[in-house]
Chain A
Amino acid sequence: MIRFRRYRDLSIQSKLRLIVSGACGAVLIVTCAAFVVFKWYHQREQAVSVMSVRVQILAANMAAPLAFQTPEDAMEVLNALAVDRDIEVAAVFNRSGELFAAYPERAPALTLAARKVTGLEHRFEGGRLVVWAPILQGEQRLGTFTLRNSLEGARQAVRRVAWVTAGLLVMALGLSYGLAAWLQRAFTRPLLELTQTAREVARRHDFSLRARRLSEDEIGVLADDFNTMLGQIQHREAALVESETRKGAILASALDAIITINHEGRVQEFNPAAEKLFGYTAGEAVGRKLDELIVPATHREAHCRGMARFLATGQSRVLGRRIEMPALRADGAILEVELAITRISNSEPPVFTGFIRDITERRRAERAMHESEERFRTLTVATTQIVWTTNAVGEVSGPLPSWQAFTGQTEEEVRGIGWARAVHPDDVRATTAVWQRAVQERGNYDTEYRVRRHDGVYRHFSARGVPVKNPDGSIREWVGTCTDITERKKAELELREAAERLTALNRLDRIISSNLDLAKVFAAFARELSALVPCDQALFVSVDGDTEQWKVEREWNRAKPKAPGLNCGALTDTGIGWVAEQKRPLVEALISSSWAEASLLREAGFQSRALFPLVLGHRTVAVFCVAGTTSGAFDRVAVDFMQALADQLTVAVQNIRLFAEVRQHAADLERRVEERTVALVTANKELEAFSYSVSHDLRAPLRAVAGFARILVDEHGEELPEDMQRYLKLIQDSAQRMGQLIDDLLAFSRLSRQAMNRVPFDLGRLCRDVLKTLAPEMAGRALDVRVGELPMVEGDPILLRQVMVNLLSNALKYSRPRAPAVIEVGALPEEESGAGPVIYVRDNGVGFDMKHAGKLFGVFQRLHRTDEFEGTGVGLAIVERIIHRHGGRIWTHARPEGGATFFFTLGGSPGASHHDQQNQ
C-alpha cells in the first residue's frame, strides 16, 4: 500500500522506518556490490599470478622436449594439467611458431595462436585468461608456451561470495527495518498523541482539552506550547462571547437602526430599531439582499455599483461619511434616512455596518420651508407678471413699479383707483365692479380685462388678488398679480377657428356625399365660406379648354354688388386662364392686378381675390373664385382653408359628373335589355309554335303510313311475297321510330314551357327509385351498380328524375358489351362556392372520343349507329336543358372503349353553363 502513496503523504512512522532502513540498505548494497567487484578482480589477479607461475614452470619443462624433439615428454608434462579443470587449452609452439605439443592431446589447441613473446604475458579474451611464456634454454629461444584458463573457478568463487553477501544483505535490511520500527516509536508516539489532541479540539471545538506530555525532548516542548496556545484561545473565546453579548445588548437598545451586511450585500444583523424603522422582523431580513429589502428601485443600481466598486478597488464614496438617501419600508413607503456606513475592521471578505436614522420629518420640514421661500422669490421676481398690493380698503397707497413700467403711468396716477384709467374703456365698469365686490366681501379677486400698454396697444390681462389677514382676522392688505394672457387668448381663438373650419369641412363632406346637385352643393360651400373667411363673393367658373372660354356657373354674394361683375368671356390674359393652365392657386390684390377681368372686379368694389383650380384627370374643369371688398382679406390660414374647400369642391364636381354618366349608362342598358327581351320572347314563342305544329302535323301523315302498312300486313300479309313482307316490316319499324322521335321532340320542346317547381329532396332516394324502374333493362345482365352517398339537393324532382333516367339508361345501354358492367353514381365535394356538389354517373362501357364531346348534347346527335345502340339522340339534349334550367352545368369525361362519366351540378346562379367551352 505504501508504495502507491506519495512519500510526502506518508505518516511520520512510515517515513522514519523508510529513512532508517533505506539508509542502511543503501550503504549495505553499495558495500556488498563493492565487495563482490573487488572479489572478482582479486580472483582474476590471483588466477593471473597462479597461471603465470604455472606457465613459467611448464615453459622451463618444455625446453628439453623441444630441444630434443620428444613431444611425448612434453605431453607427459602437459597431461598433468588435467588436475586443474579451469585450464581449457595449453600448447607448445616451436621457434618457427609451429605446434609442437597440445593439451588436451587432440584438442582444439590450434585455437591458440602462436605468439612470439619475450617474457611472460597475459591477456583476457572473452572472459578467459590466456598466458604466454617463452621457452628458453640459456640464451636460446626454443619456442612459446601458451595456456588458456576459463576462469570458471574464479567466477564460481565470486558467485558464491555474491550469494553469501546477498543473504547477509537481506538479513541486515530486515534487522535495520525492525530496529527502525522499534526505535521510531519513542519519537512518533508523543507526536501522534499531539496530533490526536489537535484533531479532537478541532472536531469538538473544545478548547479545554490538553495534550499529554510524553517526553522531555522538542516534542514535549511542542506539547507544552500547544497547551499554552489552547489556554489562550479558551480565554479569548470567553472574551469574544462576552463582547458579542455586549454588542447584542447595544444593538438591541440602540435608537438608530443598525444593519450589518456582508460583501454580497446580504443582511447579517438587523437590530430592533431597524425592525421598527423598516417594518421587517430580523428573521425576515437576515439573509436577504439589502438592495431588495430597503433600497428604493431608483437607487438600487447605484448601490450595487458602489458595492462592486468597493470590492474591486477598495474605494468607496460612502464609507465613513454621513449620507442622506431615500429608503424603502416593508409597506412600500419611502423614508428619508441619514446613513453612516463603516467597515468592520479588516475582516475579509468585508462586512459593513450601517447606522440609519429616520430623517423623513426633518427633511419634510426643511423642504416645506425651502419651497415656501422659493415660491415667494418666484412671485416677486417674476418679470412677466405684475405684482400689486393695496391697503385694506382696496386703494393703492404705495408705488406699483411693475404696473407703472407696463402702463407708463406715474406713481401719482396710480394712487387710489387711478390704475383703472389704464384699463380698456369697455372693461373699466366690469373690472371696478368686481374689485369693489371682492373688497366688500373680503373674498378672492379674479377677473380679466384689457390694459393699455405704454405704447397704446391693449393687452389682455388676468388679474388675481387675495386679502392678507392679521392674526385677529381683520384684513391687513391685499396682494395680487396681473398676468398678460394676450398670447393665450390669441392661441385659443386660433384653435377655435381651426376647429370651426374642420367642422365646416366635415359638414361639407356630408353634403357632398349626400347631394349630387351642383347648385345645392355650391350654396353650401358659399355658406360655410362666408362664415369663416372675410369674403364677399364666391364664383364657380367653368372652364372649357377646347373653346378657350370661361363661364360663371354659380354665383354667391354677401351683399348686392355695386356693379355687374363677371359673366363669361375668353380665357386669354385672364387670371382664370392662368390658374386653369398652371393648375395653381392665385391670390392677389386687385388694385395692382393686370389680368383682363380685374378691372371688372374693381368696378364691382372688390379689392382682393383668390382663385383655385378644380382639376379632374389632369384637366382643369373649373375655377373657384373668391373675392373680398377689403385689401389683404385672405391671410395664409384663409387661403389654406379655401384650398381645402376647393379640393372638396373638386370631389363634389367629380361625383356629380360620374353620377350623371352612370345614370346615362344605366338608362341605355335598361333600354337595350328590354328590346332584346321582347325579341327573344317573340322568337321563342314562334319556335315553340313551330315545333308543336311540326310535331302534330308530322304525326298525322305518319299515323297514316303506319296504319296502312299494318292493314296491309294484317290483311294481305300472307299473300305477299316474302321480300315484300320484309319491306312492310321496315316501313312499320321506321314509322314507329319516327313516332318515337316526334314524342321525344315534343317532350324536349315542352321542357322550356313547363313551369319548374324547385324543392329540396333526397337525390339518393330518387336514384334508387329510378334504378328500380330500370330493372327490366338490367335483367339477366352481369351488373355491378354502386350508388354512393348522394346529397339532398334543391330542384324539380320530376325533371331531375328524367335526368337520372336518361343518364342511367345511357350507362346501362353503352355498357352492354361489358361483363360485368360497372355503373357508379356518386357525389364530389363542392367544386366552387355556390355551384353545389358535383354529381356523377360513371360506366365502364364503350365510351367515346372526347373530340366528339361537343356534339353530345345536341338534339338528334348520335355518336353510335342505331343498329349498334338504339336511341333517338334526344335524351342527353333533354338532360342538358333540364340541368341548365336549374342553373347548373353538365360535362363529360370519356375515352373510346374506356367508359364514360357524366358530371353535373345544380348550382343556383342562372346562366352558369359553360359546358360548351368546357367540352371543346
Chain B
Amino acid sequence: MLCRLYFACLLVAPGLLLGQAAVTERELKAAYLFQFSQFTEWPATAFGGADAPFVIGLLGRSALAEVLTELVRGERAAGHPIEVRQLASAAEAVHCHIVYIAPEAMSAQQFAADGRPVLLVGESDDFLRQGGAVRFVRSDSRIRLHINHTSAQRRGLTLSSKLLRIAAKVERES
C-alpha cells in the first residue's frame, strides 16, 4: 500500500523529486556540486568582498551548466550568492571556488601549481592522484564520492567531517 502510493507520487512529479532511480545523473551531480559549497569552508581570502559571488566553474563539455544554474538560483554559500560559469579554459578558473572538470576536458594537474583555494571536482580514474579533491565514482547506478582530503587541505579548504563520513573513500597523503 505504502509502496504503491510512493510510486504514484513519483509518476506525478518526477522532476521535483530527488529519488535515486528517477533522478538523472546530471541532476545528481549538479546537486552534489551545490552541496559541496555547503559542506566545505573556504578561507575568507577566497572572496573578493562581502558581495563577491561564490562561483562554480564548469570545465569541458557537460550539460551540467543549465541544470546547476537552475538549482542554485537564490541559494547562497557562506553568505555569498552563487554563480555558475561555463569555463572555456583553466585560466578562466581563477575566480572560481568550485571547479568541475569534465572527464575529457583536462587533468587536474593543470591546476596544481597555483595552489588557490579551489575545490576541484572530477571524474577521471586518477583525478585524485593528479591533485583533485573530490571524484564522482559510479557504482551500481549510484554516484559515490572519493575524496582526497590532503589535496583539499593543501589548497586551504576545510571539508566537513559529515562530508568525509559519507564519502566512500577518503585519501590522506602524509
Indicate if the CB atoms of B162 and A64 lie closer than 8 Å: yes
A67 at the B interface (CB under 8 A): yes
* Alpha-carbon gap, A67 to B20, bound state (A): 13
Q: Which residues of B contact A65 (CB under 8 A)?
A: 166
B47 at the A interface (CB under 8 A): no
Interface hits, A750-795 → B, CB 8 Å: none
B28 at the A interface (CB under 8 A): yes
B110 at the A interface (CB under 8 A): no
How near does chain B come to A436, taking the closest CB pair, in angstroms?
171
- Kindly identify which residue among A61, A68, A138, A139 contacts B32, using a CB–CB cutoff of 8 Å: A68
Give the number of A-B contacts (CB < 8 Å).
38
Indicate if the CB atoms of A68 and B145 lie closer than 8 Å: yes
* Alpha-carbon gap, A63 to B165, bound state (A): 11
Indicate if the CB atoms of B18 and A64 lie closer than 8 Å: no
How near does chain B come to A60, taking the closest CB pair, in angstroms?
8
In the complex, which residue of chain A has the Cβ closest to the Cβ of B75? Answer: A140
Interface string of A46-89 (1 = CB under 8 A from B): 00000000000000110111011110010000000000000000
A542 at the B interface (CB under 8 A): no
B85 at the A interface (CB under 8 A): no
Q: Which residues of A contact B2 (CB under 8 A)?
A: 110
A94 at the B interface (CB under 8 A): yes
B42 at the A interface (CB under 8 A): no
B160 at the A interface (CB under 8 A): yes
Q: Which residues of B contact A63 (CB under 8 A)?
A: 162
Indicate if the CB atoms of A139 and B76 lie closer than 8 Å: yes
Q: Which residues of B contact A70 (CB under 8 A)?
A: 166
Indicate if the CB atoms of A73 and B35 lie closer than 8 Å: no
Indicate if the CB atoms of B160 and A69 lie closer than 8 Å: no
Interface hits, B1-57 → A, CB 8 Å: 2, 17-18, 20, 23, 28, 31-32, 35, 38-39
Indicate if the CB atoms of A73 and B38 lie closer than 8 Å: no
- Kindly identify which residue among A60, A64, A137 contacts B166, using a CB–CB cutoff of 8 Å: A64
Q: Which residues of B contact A94 (CB under 8 A)?
A: 18
In the complex, which residue of chain B has the Cβ closest to the Cβ of A94? Answer: B18
B88 at the A interface (CB under 8 A): no
A73 in contact with B39 given A64-B160, A68-B32 (CB within 8 Å): no
In the complex, which residue of chain B has the Cβ closest to the Cβ of A71? Answer: B20
* Alpha-carbon gap, A139 to B23, bound state (A): 25
- Kindly identify which residue among B17, B18, B39, B162 contacts A61, using a CB–CB cutoff of 8 Å: B162
How near does chain B come to A377, taking the closest CB pair, in angstroms?
144
A73 in contact with B31 given A67-B38, A139-B76 (CB within 8 Å): no
Interface hits, A394-446 → B, CB 8 Å: none
Interface string of B49-79 (1 = CB under 8 A from A): 0000000000000000000000000011011
How near does chain B come to A1, taking the closest CB pair, in angstroms?
67
The tally of residues in B whose CB lies under 8 Å from a CB in A reads 21
B94 at the A interface (CB under 8 A): no
A73 in contact with B166 given A64-B160, A137-B38 (CB within 8 Å): yes
Q: Which residues of A contact B79 (CB under 8 A)?
A: 139
Interface string of B137-155 (1 = CB under 8 A from A): 0000000010000000000
Indicate if the CB atoms of B39 and A69 lie closer than 8 Å: no
Indicate if the CB atoms of B38 and A140 lie closer than 8 Å: yes
* Alpha-carbon gap, A67 to B32, bound state (A): 8
- Kindly identify which residue among A73, A98, A140 contacts B165, using a CB–CB cutoff of 8 Å: A73
Indicate if the CB atoms of A68 and B35 lie closer than 8 Å: yes
* Alpha-carbon gap, A138 to B38, bound state (A): 7
B112 at the A interface (CB under 8 A): no
Indicate if the CB atoms of B18 and A67 lie closer than 8 Å: no
How near does chain B come to A670, taking the closest CB pair, in angstroms?
150
* Alpha-carbon gap, A68 to B18, bound state (A): 10
* Chain A interface size range: 10 to 19
* Alpha-carbon gap, A140 to B77, bound state (A): 9
Q: Which residues of A contact B28 (CB under 8 A)?
A: 69
In the complex, which residue of chain A has the Cβ closest to the Cβ of B41? Answer: A138
Indicate if the CB atoms of B18 and A69 lie closer than 8 Å: yes
A64 in contact with B31 given A137-B38, A139-B76, A140-B38 (CB within 8 Å): no
* Alpha-carbon gap, A716 to B29, bound state (A): 188
Q: Which residues of B contact A67 (CB under 8 A)?
A: 35, 38-39
Interface centre among A64, A94, A98 (most CB of B within 10 A): A64
Indicate if the CB atoms of A64 and B145 lie closer than 8 Å: no
Interface hits, A333-363 → B, CB 8 Å: none
Q: Which residues of B contact A139 (CB under 8 A)?
A: 76, 79
* Alpha-carbon gap, A70 to B145, bound state (A): 11
- Kindly identify which residue among A69, A138, A140 contacts B31, using a CB–CB cutoff of 8 Å: A69
How near does chain A come to B102, taking the closest CB pair, in angstroms?
21
How near does chain A come to B46, taking the closest CB pair, in angstroms?
16
Q: Which residues of A contact B75 (CB under 8 A)?
A: 140
Interface hits, A119-172 → B, CB 8 Å: 137-140
How near does chain B come to A95, taking the closest CB pair, in angstroms?
10
How near does chain B come to A230, taking the closest CB pair, in angstroms?
97
Q: Which residues of B contact A138 (CB under 8 A)?
A: 38, 78
Q: Which residues of B contact A60 (CB under 8 A)?
A: 162
Q: Which residues of B contact A61 (CB under 8 A)?
A: 162
In the complex, which residue of chain B has the Cβ closest to the Cβ of A100? Answer: B18
* Alpha-carbon gap, A878 to B54, bound state (A): 177
* Alpha-carbon gap, A609 to B47, bound state (A): 187
Indicate if the CB atoms of B166 and A68 lie closer than 8 Å: yes
In the complex, which residue of chain A has the Cβ closest to the Cβ of B19? Answer: A69
How near does chain B come to A483, taking the closest CB pair, in angstroms?
151
In the complex, which residue of chain A has the Cβ closest to the Cβ of B160? Answer: A64
* Alpha-carbon gap, A63 to B161, bound state (A): 11
Q: Which residues of A contact B18 (CB under 8 A)?
A: 69, 94
Q: Which residues of A contact B166 (CB under 8 A)?
A: 64-65, 68, 70, 73
* Alpha-carbon gap, A310 to B163, bound state (A): 119
* Alpha-carbon gap, A64 to B75, bound state (A): 18
* Alpha-carbon gap, A64 to B17, bound state (A): 18
How near does chain A come to B10, taking the closest CB pair, in angstroms?
11
Q: Which residues of A contact B38 (CB under 8 A)?
A: 67, 137-138, 140
Indicate if the CB atoms of B162 and A69 lie closer than 8 Å: no
- Kindly identify which residue among B23, B39, B76 contacts A64, using a CB–CB cutoff of 8 Å: B39
* Alpha-carbon gap, A53 to B28, bound state (A): 33
* Alpha-carbon gap, A752 to B18, bound state (A): 165
* Alpha-carbon gap, A626 to B167, bound state (A): 183
In the complex, which residue of chain B has the Cβ closest to the Cβ of A110? Answer: B2
How near does chain A come to B130, taking the closest CB pair, in angstroms?
24
* Alpha-carbon gap, A65 to B76, bound state (A): 20
* Alpha-carbon gap, A68 to B160, bound state (A): 13
How near does chain A come to B69, taking the closest CB pair, in angstroms?
18
* Alpha-carbon gap, A134 to B51, bound state (A): 28
Q: Which residues of A contact B32 (CB under 8 A)?
A: 68
- Kindly identify which residue among B17, B39, B76, B145 contacts A137, using a CB–CB cutoff of 8 Å: B39
* Alpha-carbon gap, A297 to B138, bound state (A): 145
Q: Which residues of A contact B78 (CB under 8 A)?
A: 138
Interface centre among A68, A70, A137 (most CB of B within 10 A): A68
* Alpha-carbon gap, A68 to B23, bound state (A): 13
Indicate if the CB atoms of B145 and A69 lie closer than 8 Å: no
* Alpha-carbon gap, A69 to B76, bound state (A): 20
* Alpha-carbon gap, A94 to B16, bound state (A): 13
Q: Which residues of B contact A64 (CB under 8 A)?
A: 39, 160, 162-163, 165-166
* Alpha-carbon gap, A717 to B31, bound state (A): 182
Instruction: Report which B residues bind A (CB closer than 8 A).
Output: 2, 17-18, 20, 23, 28, 31-32, 35, 38-39, 75-76, 78-79, 145, 160, 162-163, 165-166
| 5 A-B pairs with the lowest CB-CB distances in the bound complex, closest first | A64-B162, A67-B35, A64-B166, A73-B166, A137-B38
- A64-B163, A137-B38 given. 14 additional CB < 8 A pairs? A60-B162, A64-B160, A67-B39, A68-B35, A68-B145, A68-B166, A69-B20, A69-B23, A69-B28, A70-B166, A138-B78, A139-B76, A140-B38, A140-B75
30 of the cross-chain contacts (CB-CB < 8 Å) are A60-B162, A63-B162, A64-B39, A64-B160, A64-B162, A64-B163, A64-B165, A64-B166, A67-B35, A67-B38, A67-B39, A68-B32, A68-B35, A68-B166, A69-B20, A69-B31, A70-B166, A73-B165, A73-B166, A94-B18, A110-B2, A137-B38, A137-B39, A137-B162, A138-B38, A138-B78, A139-B76, A139-B79, A140-B38, A140-B75
